[in-house]
Every structure is written in structure tokens, then in C-alpha cells.
A and B are shown apart, each in its own frame.
Chain A
Amino acid sequence: EAEVAQSPRYKITEKSQAVAFWCDPISGHATLYWYRQILGQGPELLVQFQDESVVDDSQLPKDRFSAERLKGVDSTLKIQPAELGDSAMYLCASSLRAGSEQFFGPGTRLTVL
């Protein structure tokens, strides 16, 4: 497929609950990225995968966030437990290879109450 797919599009949860987001990159894209975008700002990288391996998770809050891409295709980002400050848009992007242009999915809007 020629688009990055994400689900759900919207998620409302209470603080301390667990949430999970799913991403299916463009077919054949080896590199997958998760970004967080706070309203009024540009996206900021959380984690980058090359195939099934994490190559950059330096900005991922590892005490509560985890990400996996077990078979090197689709990916899941999890937050447990969610905090009020996690409310944001979570964007997935993919690229043919590291260093090539990145294409974004529609995002998941998370609201933590």
C-alpha cells in the first residue's frame, strides 16, 4: 500500500491506564519512526526502527513508553501508565531507507483525562 496506516485515529483514556497505537508503514519501507507532536509545535522523534531493530530511542521515555516492530513490518507503540502530559498527536512515518524522505500517517490523537 502507498500510505502509512495508523489506528486508532483517536483515543481517550484516563491517567494510569495503558494505551497502544498501531502503525503499518508503506510496503517495502525498511525504516519506521514514531513521533510525538504537541499542539502548536513540530513533531519530535520518539523512536526509529531499521527493519526490526531499534536504532534510535534516545528521546523515548523508557520508564513508561515501549515500542516494537517484531517482524520488521508493522509496529506498536505503548504507554503504561499514561499521564496527563502524554496528551498529544502520535505520528508514525516510514522511509524507504534511513536518510530518505519520510512519509507520515494520519496520526493518533491521544487525550489523557
Chain B
Amino acid sequence: GQQLNQSPQSMFIQEGEDVSMNCTSSSIFNTWLWYKQDPGEGPVLLIALYKAGELTSNGRLTAQFGITRKDSFLNISASIPSDVGIYFCAGLSGSRLTFGEGTQLTVNP
């Protein structure tokens, strides 16, 4: 089946630093989604990308849909303590959503 390789697995940063994480796949996706999940909660949609090359921002978050349609990255600028959590990329093909394994982000105040 389809697999997404998400990296890094974990990040430990200082408050105020910028963060970058990415996902790559051997398959093409029509849509890339980025979610954040807090402990014991469901994933919350952060950004949706619909076209190859698209660059979209949501506050301090910026994400891009790779030209090849096989990759995407998420940047978080000026991190704050509430950015702590697990970030998942997800590729949508038809109606099937495939998730990466997540990036655990820790922000030290």
C-alpha cells in the first residue's frame, strides 16, 4: 500500500525558533493535509493543499505541496510552547487518506 515517510520523528527546540518537517511518498497524491494532535485528542486540521506547487500559510504555519505531488513540507515560525504536539502529514488519493508516522515537537520555554 501507499506509505508516507515523515521526518524528523522528533524535534526539541527553544521557544522562538523556526521548525521544518516534511513528508515524502513513492505515490502521487491529489491533496496534502497537515494535522496537529495533542495527547488524548483527535487530529486537528491545520492546512490543506490542493495543487502541485501551492504554498499556503495559516498564521505562523506555512506548507507547500511539492511539484512532483509526492512530497510536502510544513514550517512553523517563531515557535511557542503551545506548538507542542504531534504533527502528521496526510496524503489524499481519491477518498483514501494515508498518514505519515508523525513528528513529535517539544518546545522548551
Q: How many residues of B contact A (CB 8 A)?
A: 23
Which one of B42, B88, B94, B95 contacts A42 once the chains associate, using CB atoms below 8 Å? B88
A15 at the interface (CB under 8 A from B): no
- Whether B95 lies near A48 (C-beta < 8 A) is yes
| Interface residue A65 (Cβ < 8 Å from any Cβ of B) | no
From A6, which residue of chain B is reached at the shortest CB distance?
Answer: B42
B45 touches A103 (CB 8 A): yes
In Å, the complex CA distance between A109 and B102 comes to 19
Q: Which residue of chain A has its CB nearest to the CB of B98?
A: A42
B residues near A105, Cβ cutoff 8 Å = 42
Interface residues of A in 56-72 (CB under 8 A from B): 56
Judging by beta carbons under 8 Å apart, are B101 and A42 in contact?
A: yes
